[in-house]
Amino acid sequence: MKRFAFYGAGSLWLLVALLLAGASQAQPFVHPGLLHTEADFARMHAKVNANAQPWKGSWDILVANSRSQLTYNPNPQDTVIRGGTGQNYTILYNDIAAAYQTAIRWKVTGDVAYANKSIAIMNAWSLTMKHLTGNADRFLAAGIYGYQFANAAEIMRSYSGWAVADFTRFKDMMLNEFYPLNEDFLTNHNTACITNYWANWDLCNMASILAIGVLCDRRDLYNRAIEYFKNGAGNGAITKAVWYLHSGTLGQWQESGRDQGHCTLGIGLMGAFCEMAWNQGDDMYGYDSNRFMKGAEYVAQYNIGNTVPYTTYNWGTGQNCAGMSQTLIAAAGRGNIRPVWEMVYQHYANRRGLSVPGMAAYAALHRPEGGGGNYGPNSGGYDQLGFGTLTFTRDPLPTTVANGTYKIFARHSGQAMEVANNGTANGANVRQWPANDCVCQQWILTNTGSNQFSVVGVGSNKFLDVASSNTADGANAQIWQSTGGTNQRFTFTNVGGGFYRITPVHSSKAVEVTSNSLTDGANIQQWTYNSGRNQQWQLVQENLPVQARVATLPAEPVSATTVKLAVFPNPVTDELVVTVPLAEGTAPLMTVADLSGRLIYNGLIRTNRHAVDMKKQPAGVYLVRVVQGGEVVTVKVVKQ
């Protein structure tokens, strides 16, 4: 540490920055890892071969598209112009669509003829293209076609038939012709007022920088895009694109007062950005409490015909930030068809298990999705790669949650969710407490539709409720009579290992035990989901009374005991150690069982210290019980 004393403050920070930059640069990317991964292609292949719908319907549209044919011939240009005199950018977006579509056909069928066609298109362009220009629209071309072309190349990078020199030349084209315009726009915004350009202008350039970063293994580019998403100055940053939150489920999109065609384009661009980041391990979909989900749900709800709230949008335009206002939501383009909705719907509904009814309905209207060439000849039909029903559709998350009566146990502590002191009044608090037979720890789950559940206390006949429909972190969990509010409806998302995230519909946050506390009586509240074990819950169905469910075990003690029992470690991962002081000539009976009553150990203890192997047992809550001299001691253990 003393060696740092020889550096000035500036030098020290420079050293730290260089060390961090080097570590970041060394972090490898997942390949392929933009819009699609190898796991995605395996799913597409399996579903198409099984003629499974809706995947097959989207595949059939792809196969019929003229751009996916082996007879397609590219037309590379030395100079691509979008905006102003001599526009020819339509050639580029048609050829990109062809490169992408033939790449998909190769991955799904294994037919190398389609692989060769895809790389022939990309080789022709990397050999020819030297300039991308035009008026301000050149930045749109660099962004939209940059991220799309990078995606086609990312799919093909694993093909052994793509010569290293050809792939390198293609990456150089992306870095030299597309990326500089992307960075120029995010830095300078064409010298205009920072709010002059709509969210889509930022978003397409952010997507291009991120995609080129992955394609070219440039962690600095990738990080630049992620940082801009979080904290950028322009309208593509998440808090500016979804600039106003009306509720826990609806966020006003920045272009809502402009027209709906550009709103849906924005959803497609931000969705592509989030999907590519997700495949590299960064959850921008869920960033800032699912802020993008709220914006997408807002746009979807309005475009399927529902009424949504609207707040006047004010911004500065031109070089001098002249003030402008939009006081009403724009009906122009309402209900337009753009193949972007499967991507965002499938993520939130079938990857994350969240309730997004607007997206569900709007995605259904588009299904099965086509791609470039299926939505007219103009640029809007090519602003997205499409075919999302084939490429993004997932089977719904498996769920074992059925209507019934349950005890609900916190994963981190093994304690049960209960109404404090068996309360029945409105506002009675909900907390964690060691499991017992009180009806205050029993909850009736009822699916009210769209996998949204009411959770009603058996002892109180009142509803689990987030107080006052509050959407903030720390809002309290309580019971209340039925109001029909979304603060009394919850989704249950399987997070693996038999545990669930419980999500209040109104806020999209997570039900948790406060501060990860292990204390008896620790409060239960909502908080932004962070994958903590205090935010994950085990459901144990109460088909029979507790004693009947564990009839193979000794009865619960009815009075205080003198037996001294200790278990460690708790939580346990491998070996559980149980210590019991033994009286001379005694051999207590010890059992270890899960909450369903399944015995994993049953035997007599003949030494003070006994070990139980837990390595092969699933995560969950287990009961260690020792019977000695007519007394019973039970200790709850959490297996991680």
List, as own/partner pairs, every contact residues 357-360 make where C-beta atoms lie below 8 angstroms and the sequence separation is at least 24, other chains included.
Answer: 357/297, 357/450, 358/297, 358/298, 358/300, 358/301, 358/304, 358/306, 359/296, 359/297, 359/300, 360/450
Average pLDDT over residues 476-494: 95
Summarize pLDDT for 371-399 with one digit per residue, the tens.
Answer: 999 999 999 999 999 999 999 999 887 66
Question: What is the structure's pLDDT at 567?
Answer: 79
Question: What is the structure's pLDDT at 557?
Answer: 32
Same domain, 231 and 123: yes
Secondary structure of residue 457 in the 3-state scheme: strand
Secondary structure of residue 638 in the 3-state scheme: strand
Cβ–Cβ < 8 Å for 250, 298: yes
Domains in the chain: how many in total? 3
Residue with tokens 């070996």, as numbered in its chain: 575
Same domain, 582 and 435: no
Whether 474 shows a pLDDT value over 60: the answer reads yes
Summarize pLDDT for 299-317 with one digit per residue, the tens.
Answer: 999 999 999 999 999 999 9
Residue 397 lies in a domain: no
Handedness of CA 170, 176, 180, 181 (dihedral sign): negative
Domain with 455, as residue range(s), is 404-541
Handedness of CA 239, 240, 243, 249 (dihedral sign): negative
Question: Do you know the residue count of the chain?
Answer: 640
Average pLDDT over residues 592-611: 74
- Outline where DSSP puts E strands in 254-401: 313-317, 322-326
pLDDT-based confidence at residue 478 (cuts at 50, 70, 90):
very high
Q: Residue 314 to residues 250, 331, 478, 633: CA-CA distances in angstroms?
A: 19, 18, 39, 66
Whether 547 shows a pLDDT value over 50: the answer reads no
0.75 surpassed by pTM: no
Q: From 291, 283, 284, select the one nearest 248 (Cα to Cα).
A: 291
Same domain, 164 and 275: yes
Average pLDDT over residues 162-181: 98
pLDDT-based confidence at residue 354 (cuts at 50, 70, 90):
confident
Residue 65 lies in a domain: yes
Q: From 44, 79, 76, select the one nearest 63 (Cα to Cα).
A: 44
Same domain, 570 and 475: no
Percent of the chain's residues with pLDDT above 70: 89
Residue with tokens 């060696």, as numbered in its chain: 3
**Of the listed ranges 81-90, 345-354, 419-428, the one predicted with least confidence:** 345-354
Rounded to whole angstroms, how far apart are CA atoms 231 and 622? 45
Pairing of strands 79-81, 131-133: parallel
Rounded to whole angstroms, how far apart are CA atoms 572 and 155? 43
- The two tokens of residue 427 are 């506002």
Question: What is the structure's pLDDT at 12?
Answer: 39
Greater confidence (11 vs 300) lies with: 300
Q: Given its phi and psi angles, is residue 290 left (phi above 0), alpha (psi -120 to 50 degrees) or beta?
A: left
Same domain, 282 and 324: yes
Average pLDDT over residues 192-217: 98
Residue 470 lies in a domain: yes
Average pLDDT over residues 289-304: 97
Average pLDDT over residues 197-223: 98
Same domain, 118 and 61: yes
**Of the listed ranges 58-72, 135-149, 314-328, 340-354, the one predicted with least confidence:** 340-354
pLDDT-based confidence at residue 548 (cuts at 50, 70, 90):
very low
Same domain, 517 and 567: no
Whether 213 shows a pLDDT value over 80: the answer reads yes
Greater confidence (19 vs 402) lies with: 402
Same domain, 456 and 562: no
Same domain, 532 and 602: no
Same domain, 418 and 322: no
Domain boundary residue among 541, 575, 606? Answer: 541
Residue 398 lies in a domain: no
Rounded to whole angstroms, how far apart are CA atoms 132 and 144? 13
Q: Given its phi and psi angles, is residue 351 left (phi above 0), alpha (psi -120 to 50 degrees) or beta?
A: alpha
Domain boundary residue among 488, 508, 541? Answer: 541
Question: What is the structure's pLDDT at 550?
Answer: 29
Cβ–Cβ < 8 Å for 299, 263: yes
**Of the listed ranges 7-21, 323-337, 513-527, the one predicted with least confidence:** 7-21
Question: What is the structure's pLDDT at 21?
Answer: 43
Which domain CATH number covers 63? 1.50.10.100
Helical packing angle, 138-156 and 199-215, nearest 10°: 30
- The two tokens of residue 92 are 């580029």
Cβ–Cβ < 8 Å for 511, 500: no
Residue 562 lies in a domain: yes
Whether 6 shows a pLDDT value over 50: the answer reads no
Same domain, 159 and 257: yes
Handedness of CA 410, 416, 421, 425 (dihedral sign): positive
Same domain, 452 and 346: no
Summarize pLDDT for 611-628 with one digit per residue, the tens.
Answer: 888 888 888 888 888 876
